Structure 1
């Protein structure tokens, strides 16, 4: 989701439903403040968290929101869905306006889901250029062995898209469980990589995004606000 930016004069004209000429007079008269400072520059760029007031009355007073949710299986990573419960429907007591999901999980996957109204923060988190690692606990239908490690580390070619996946970390936890680390997120990538071994994934749980780890005290369907230190990770 792109950051919502606008010029100050455009914002005021739209919000107050007045012509640009009137906006210029308001600015010159010192009636407009942005982030508690009197502003006379009509070209000033605003974002969704700029605090804008006219004559002391707030026109925009949005506060940034950063949440982690332990997404259960059967819940979709979407803001609206006609069939399944959505992740946003689990956020009881939270103002849902402007919220979006940063890094989705499919219907049958569970674990760490980040939800925010800060587009620049989520863009930094999801940008392929930043190569933010995601860690998943994967449960398989059939036993795994050390041949998987080199296969995941070497990347896999998918002819349909004409792509080769980046090197993925692979840690064997037990005969039927592994921890997989990815720095990309192709469509159903983990399931398709295990599909090369004809080994169905029966459980996929995201444990971490970068250094941000899912809070173990959150039961499936529960959420909490991120701490300042967690927000600063991205």
Structure 2
């Protein structure tokens, strides 16, 4: 037996909090009866409807994908471009990405059908480290990299402090390879951070998400997370949430 709002969140209906609102508004039925109590629990045999539509209750699945460049972090694209779910065409259930990597960025992306899990990881309070390696034009001055470490002001506000490490530089080609560690998830954040100090990102790859890496995977490869990895991620996000609440 699981709490109704948790079942709804896992089915991808809405976050757990939003699911609670739907219940209180009388928009949820269990076995044909409207329920408004938040404490109710349901079993796998119970019929749950939201706005008169029965929800699909699937076993939760969790994947890592090594997203190649030139792929959209979405379940579909109106321009007909390749999307991340194309790599799971044999999967019978619907999954979706946790957050996103932009079209020109490669690297580690999580996908799941567990809405509660996805919302937990993406919540701004849950400071899960994301490690990127960027190839940028020019050779940034140390003082400019320190600006990224302290947090830099973008059009949507100041970023949280980052960890930055120069990995290599090519004086002849005037390019640099830099590792940057952030825990936020703003749109095109890493690219915009480097642009703010005057250096365009030529290539960008997410190499790590929390403790997860791309070890053993090539671009376009995917693997299922182990139950222990899922448990670790959930615990990491919840611990971070407690610290920042």
Scaled to the shorter chain, the TM-score interval is: 0.7 to 0.9
Question: 1:31 — aligned with what?
Answer: none
Deviation at residue 114 of structure 1 after TM alignment: 0.4
Judging changes above 3 Å, is the alpha-carbon distance between structure 1 residues 148 and 230 closer, same or farther for their aligned structure 2 residues? farther
Structure with max Cα Rg: 1
CA distance in 2, matches of 1:124, 1:44: 22
Distance in structure 2 (CA, Å) of the matches to 1:93 and 1:202? 34
- Matched with 2:165 is 171
Report if the CA contact (8 A) 1:111-1:206 is conserved.
yes
Partner SS for 2:86? helix
Aligned residue for 2:130?
A: 134
SS at match of 1:10: strand
In structure 2, relative to structure 1, the CA distance for the partners of 1:154 and 1:10 (3 Å cut) is same
Question: 1:11 maps to which residue?
Answer: 30
The equivalent of 2:89 in structure 1 is 92
Normalising by structure 1, what TM-score? 0.75
Unaligned runs of 5+ in 1: 14-19, 24-40
Query: For residue 52 of structure 1, what is the aligned residue in structure 2?
Result: 45
Change (3 A) 1:156 1:75: same
Query: Distance in 2 between the 1:227 and 1:60 partners?
Result: 23
Gapped runs of 5+ residues in structure 2? Answer: 1-11, 48-54, 170-175, 235-245
Query: 66-75 vs 221-230, which deviates more?
Result: 221-230
Q: Counterparts of 1:1-234 in structure 2 under 5 Å?
A: 2-3=14-15, 10-13=29-32, 20=33, 44-46=40-42, 50-52=43-45, 62-83=58-79, 84-97=81-94, 99-158=95-154, 160-161=155-156, 163-175=157-169, 176-214=176-214, 216-232=215-231, 233-234=233-234
Counterparts of 1:128 and 1:61, CA distance in 2: 27
Cα displacement string for residues 135-191 of structure 1 (whole angstroms, at most 9, x for unaligned residues): 101111222342343111111112x33x11110110111111111111112222211
- Please report the TM-score for the alignment, with normalisation by the length of structure 2: 0.72
**2:144 & 2:93 partners in 1: Cα distance?**
42
* Secondary structure in 2 matching 1:74: coil
Aligned equivalents of 2:125, 2:135: Cα separation in 1: 29
User: Does the 8 A contact of 1:68 with 1:225 survive in 2?
Assistant: yes
Deviates further, 70-79 or 197-206: 197-206
**Counterpart-to-counterpart distance in 2, 1:126 and 1:60:** 23
Deviations 1:18-77 (A, max 9, x none): xx4xx9xxxxxxxxxxxxxxxxx9x7344xxx52268xxxx9652110011000111000
